[in-house]
Chains A and B, each alone.
Chain A
């Protein structure tokens, strides 16, 4: 995008100009689409335009920024100014889970969901204070690079490669899944086709220009995603409170929501619905214990009922209803079992409303304490994981200096903060609308947005009239986590163009994170495994070509695994954080702050930390055949890092002290990383 010789200031000015024009262009694009909507453009058409325009834009930036220079490809030439690196990190960081899922999680779990809000922001304090400036001074290409140089030898590097690939791959699956979901929902394409269209956008970008292209694309994606997130929330806030700053205004809305919760929790109609749901769930549970008998009895009862009605010469409509009930009855025991399981699964919906602002609710002190431990456990793992995920840490290799790396962490958190600071407000505003507009409305005249979404996708929103009174009770509403962000524009009564914008924002969030992750995986393999360990004499061009080839292979494998739709997305994301925290954090931080930490300490510490976290997940997460009875202190498997990180730290400490101290050369290396500039210093920076 510019000449390497250019001074930092001129480059910054130039970028500022480009991106100002870009933002203006994007707003004009939205404005034109809004006009087109008024003139009658169809919704599907607008979905396609958003999809094609944004993916083409990202691809275009990729083509413009294509490169085969190693330094450009791996670290964007180390010229990215602090502010822009901050935006790129923001987009790199905020995934589909943050953009689409976060507000919904807050809506559904209330206070407990805030663990992710604090966890995913507070981790940047650790990045800023403990890692970013030192990694920048080291100035190589990857995180395994740092570990390899600091501790010496290929074993540490290999463990680094393994851990980097493991957690990035786990995380990238969740992103590609998000891409498929958004494209298929807003254009009507098949899920699988959606995955590959999105993947095309990711690949053009990272394939042609590596980190350089990914960086400039991520800045562009950040701008889209933040506009998309803030627009509907600000609007909703103005509608409800007259205050355009939702983060301040939602305090009064929260108070109203809390009052309404108390009223609804005592409402006789609500209690009636909950009793009906509970009875059905209990019946399902009982039937499941002996499905064959239940199936046979249900059938006989229905037949008997019909016979009775007929013999008593009951009115025709009653006979018809009884015949209909027989027709709807499960055909065999297997079908009946599925039905009973579904009924049993209704149980949680019979519970009373969890007050939104109350921390750690529970029936007794023990349950409350467990909730509190789990809250802080998740906060801990998300924070340490943030300071250990390779795709984030490498972003601080790309700034021009240590000084810029420090500033850049500030900008990163600031840009991330803008979204995370808004999510709790969005959750409360949406809750207010559901409690006031949806609850108590009649089934004949549901608000348009509720009717639309319930029709489009019942997993996102379904409303069932359990007590057949024709009025919506809160317990009759089932919401999915993704609905809150996706439906906000409609809840706020905004034109459809804003819904398209939100989808484009979610797509930008998922694509940008996937870009960064895929690049991290292929770089760990091409740079650390191939160049550093297999063929150190490989030419720059060869290294970059290999990296590009690997990128394609990894992307295709990831897309394939995603198309199998594995498990729970939130768990995948949480697992990636816990694994990264346990494997990397102790070795990275002690590597900088404790000169005595040595090779054997790092090798055993990384294995022990990662091993502990993996073992805990396997023993406690049902997907791997674990059971929750194996939990320590009642901590959920997502918080495995609570055990992995201390085990890693202690192992490095003890083993390092038991084995000889590192060589003078390595101790000099540590000093080198600690000072931004030393006279007569060694030089570790490449390119």
Chain B
């Protein structure tokens, strides 16, 4: 088994998208969570923002993060020829 430059580029791109999405995950979870009390002074569709983020906002963002990842990676597999047989 020999990895070509193309393979390495694929892995690199995977690491980049993974880091970006993990960074987003970290910020919405821990940074936003840390400042919940401060954020509560802002109001969004009738909710205090800090409460809204932990109750609903974060959850929506998590679902979107995972959707983006699977969409991007499944495209990347095809582009770099590392996809599995058709199914």
Chain B nearest Cβ from A667, distance in angstroms: 10
Q: Please provide the 6 A-B residue pairs with the shortest distance between their CB atoms, ordered closest to farther.
A: A251-B46, A359-B36, A406-B70, A424-B55, A114-B54, A357-B51
Which of A254, A375, A678 contacts B7 (CB under 8 A)?
A: A678
Q: Is the CB of B74 within 8 A of A118?
A: no
Q: Nearest Cβ distance between residue B38 and chain A, in whole angstroms? A: 9
Chain A residue at minimum C-beta to C-beta distance from B11: A674
Q: Does the CB pair B63–A413 fall under 8 Å?
A: yes
Quick check: A359 and B40 within 8 Å, CB to CB? yes
Please give, as numbers and ranges, the residues of chain A lying within 8 Å of B46 by CB-CB distance: 251-252, 254-255
Taken together as a complex, chains A and B put the C-alpha atoms of A400 and B25 apart, in Å, by 28
Chain A residues whose CB sits within 8 angstroms of the CB of B84 once the complex forms = 401-403, 676-677
Rounded to whole angstroms, the CA-CA distance of A129 and B62 in the bound complex is 11
- In contact, A417 and B63 (Cβ under 8 angstroms): yes
Q: Report A90-130 CB contacts with B as 1/0, cut-off 8 Å.
A: 00000000000000000000010011011001101110111
- A400 surroundings in chain B (CB, below 8 A): 87
Chain A residues with Cβ under 8 A from B58's Cβ?
118, 121-122
Main secondary structure of the interface of A (DSSP, over half): helix
Contacts of A254 in B (CB 8 A): 46-47, 51
B22 A125 Cβ-Cβ under 8 A: yes
Whether B21 lies near A247 (C-beta < 8 A) is: no
Q: Are B25 and A125 in contact (CB under 8 A)?
A: yes
Question: Is B3 among interface residues, defined by CB-CB distance under 8 A?
Answer: yes
For the complex, count residues of A whose C-beta is within 8 A of B. Answer: 60
> What are the residues of chain A within 8 A of B11 when measuring CB–CB?
674-675
Question: Can you identify 26 A-B contacts, CB atoms within 8 angstroms?
Answer: A111-B50, A111-B51, A115-B54, A124-B62, A128-B65, A128-B69, A248-B45, A251-B46, A254-B51, A359-B50, A368-B37, A372-B36, A376-B30, A376-B33, A376-B34, A379-B29, A379-B30, A403-B74, A407-B70, A413-B63, A424-B56, A671-B3, A677-B84, A677-B85, A678-B3, A680-B2
Say yes or no: is A530 at the interface (Cβ < 8 Å to chain B): no
Complex Cα distance, B66 from A678, in Å, reads 24
Q: Across the interface, which residues of B come within 8 angstroms of A584, CB to CB?
A: none
- Given A8-B87, A675-B10, A379:B33 Cβ within 8 A: yes
Task: Report the separation of the CA atoms of residues A122 and B74 in the bound assembly, to the nearest whole angstrom.
Answer: 22
Question: Which of chain A's residues 247-292 have a Cβ closer than 8 Å to chain B?
Answer: 247-248, 251-252, 254-255
Q: Is A48 engaged at the interface, CB distance under 8 Å to the other chain?
A: no
Known: A111-B51, A678-B1, A682-B1. 4 other contacts (CB 8 A): A115-B54, A125-B25, A251-B47, A417-B63
Interface size class of B (residues with CB under 8 A): 35 or more
B interface residue numbers (CB < 8 A to A):
1-3, 7, 10-11, 14, 18, 21-22, 25, 29-30, 33-34, 36-37, 40, 45-48, 50-52, 54-56, 58-60, 62-63, 65-67, 69-70, 73-74, 77, 82-85, 87
In the complex, what residues of A have CB within 8 A of residue B7's CB?
675, 678
Q: Quick check: A129 and B69 within 8 Å, CB to CB?
A: yes
Cα(A359)–Cα(B74), bound, Å: 39
| Bound Cα distance from A121 to B77, whole angstroms | 27
* Complex contact B54–A117 (CB within 8 A): yes
Contacts of A402 in B (CB 8 A): 77, 84
Interchain CB contact under 8 A, A117 and B50: no
Query: Of all chain A residues, which has the CB nearest B50?
Result: A359
Please indicate the chain A residues that have their CB under 8 angstroms from the CB of B25 in the complex.
122, 125-126, 129
A621 in the interface, Cβ–Cβ < 8 Å? no
B37 touches A413 (CB 8 A): no
Q: B82 contacts which chain A residues (CB < 8 A)?
A: 675-678
Judge if A190 is at the interface, Cβ distance under 8 Å: no
Residues of B with C-beta under 8 A to A421: 56, 59-60
A401-B87, A409-B70 in contact; A118/B33 too (CB < 8 A)? yes
A424 vs B7: C-alpha distance when bound (angstroms):
45
Contact B54 A414 (CB under 8 A): no
Q: Which residues of A contact B67 (CB under 8 A)?
A: 410
> Is the C-beta of A360 less than 8 angstroms from some C-beta in chain B?
yes
Selected from B18, B48, B51, B59, the residue in CB contact (under 8 A) with A130 is B18
Among A122, A368, A376, find the residue whose CB has the most chain B CB atoms closer than 10 A.
A122
A58 at the interface (CB under 8 A from B): no
A540 CB to nearest B CB, Å:
26
Determine whether A301 belongs to the interface, using a CB cutoff of 8 Å to chain B.
no
Contacts of B33 in A (CB 8 A): 118, 375-376, 379
In the docked arrangement, what's the CA distance between A406 and B69, Å? 8
